[in-house]
Structure 1
Amino acid sequence: MTTEVATTGPPTEVLPNPTAGRGEQQVVAVLEQLRVRPTTRVALVVSAIVGWAGLAVLSGGVADTADFAVEGTVAVTVAAAVVAVVIVLSWSIAAIGRPAALSHWVAGALNRRAPWLVASAVWLLIWEWTTAKTGALVPPYFAAPQQILAEAWKDRGLLLSSLGNSTLLLVLGFAAGVFAGLITGVLTGWSAQANYWVHPILQYIGPVPALAWVPIIFVTFPTAYAGAVFLIALGVWFPVTLLTRAGVNGTPRSYYDVAQTLGGNTRFLVFRISLPAAVPSIFTGLFMALGIAFVTLTVAENFGVNSGLGWYINWKKGWSAYPAMYAGILVMVLFCGTLMTALLRARAVALRWQKDLVRW
């Protein structure tokens, strides 16, 4: 006679099994998608459609107050209507189920992004209503969405020029810092003698914020631009060095033993064993460094460089042109988010072997 023991409690989360077959992994993926109930998904999609359509109606159908009357109202109306139509079309494709590949992708995208679509529509509705339509939030410190779009379009030439200057400055400083950090990290992680001399610098000088060196750097360097590049590189260098060193030190000794047994020399051990094993740690350092680079870039552009998005934002703030300042901030947000997304994609490609082992 057997006795069955009933267990109670919340269901455990189903995690992908690296050793499972393709069919089992597909079942796990389906179970993950079903964690959101179908009725909830439908409600979210409908709410998103209603929210964005309501924003289009509010923007185009209700007159702006005198303080917020600008030419950007049509752009907000059209943009909101386009988003609503795109959601409707996407929902239709997902419901029809054909073509299968596109339908599956669209359904997954709606499942993931529907809450954000609803939240963004609600936020824009509140923003539009409290500024342009009722004037509850008054200028100059508060701006309506159409004012920001109008200023962005009017200053598009200067904004594009500032974006290009910021991109160039960031790329130069980030590349120099990453290059120096990789070299320093590998040397200190591989060589005890190099670590003896460099470790005190990392310990005492590395944690000092790069912005603390501004007075010295801009006096020492011949041009403000060169000083700004060095300032960004200095901020990037420390986390990349630290995490590269940690990755090299964390490489299992057995990897080296096997490689040496098979005849691997020092160069092979460094470039084919240490560096590949340290790549996950290096990417962690790159993410930290990119955030530091954004902060340093914004400050460096206001200390003699006089170009770039950080300079544009500060310049408009000085003239109390707050809608234009918000437009610059919006471009800065898109700029930083795009670069961070690109780095995420690069990590996904470089570490695709971790896909079923580590959940990002």
Structure 2
Amino acid sequence: MDFLNFLHHDLSIKILTSLEDPSDLVRFGAVSRSWQHFVIKNGLCKQLCLRMFPQLSRVDHVNELSGPARGHAEAGCSNFNEWEALKREHRVYAFLARGCLSFAIRECISEAIIASSTDNYPEESIDNTLEPRDRVARRASYWSSKGQKNPAVPETLTYRLCADLCVITEISIRPFRAYFQLGNPIYSANSVRFQMGHIKSSVDNLVSESFQDCGNEKFVWTYTSEEFMMAQENKLQTFKLPEPVLCIGGILQIELLGRVQKQEMDGLYYICVSHVEVMGRPLSPAFGIQMLEPSEKFMLEARSYTPPPPPVPEQASSASTLQMRVRDLEQIVNLLRENGGNLVDIIEYGYGWDLQGEESDEEDIDIQ
């Protein structure tokens, strides 16, 4: 006996929308053709995705770049075209729900884009926040804002993620401790907030340099988090989002709210960040988006129904090592510029890199 035939339609919908695992909906639809028809016709997988990620309300329509072959039908048959569109939505949203819950979790930052201000560029640029070490080539690695008399002046750090669609679960920030200043002050923010979205299509290019404004007119934000308090401690502080968030467009902005540390030499308040990490599930290359301006909606594309392979630890370690070496070279180039290209002076005064390793970077050296 098919109980759906004996229940009111709204009650059947109420029961099935109580399912939280997309696999349950797929299994339900596999019981019989009538049940599959019910799931597809009522867009239950789409409703599940919208409950999981309200940001998907901006989807205008979905598309498949690869999918099952279509059967032949009479040209211009509206009922057939409508049913094919519903089946396409069902496939896309069912796989999207699966990917959002099962694709591998990894570091999601691709590159640093813009800081709202930078005290000394490029020595203290936002690029330094991608470096997990707090010293590179025996030199401090951190981003520093410009100094302010008013401790309430905020700052922002903006990053590009590794995919246009990422499910973000947590963000970690390490404030910088100025070990070369008297008292080893820690230049943390009072609190942080996170925004996610995409670059406006009218913006041609964004470059990582010392911008004096946060550039909010260049972005469309589809999510803004609550405010999280930050401790004035020199450690990687993890801010776990209450629910995973689907970042549509691959742009993350960190708002650093309030300053707590004044620099003794000039009496101004600064915020300094040593390192930033963003953990989540990139949905690329299985999914992609195309923004539809000026509506701020987008087309959701299923580019492949093959889940991406999990990252190989050896490859991840090799890529991380390569990035660290590149940053080492960048620091060396900056040192050469500051010293007029005199490599001898750099080594002589103790600013050289350690050819035997980075062990000395872990020591706590006070320069007072």
Bigger radius of gyration: 1
Task: Determine which structure has the larger helix proportion and give its number.
Answer: 1
Structure with the larger RCO, 1 or 2 (CA within 8 Å, 6+ apart): 2
Please indicate the TM-score interval, normalised by the length of the shorter structure: under 0.3
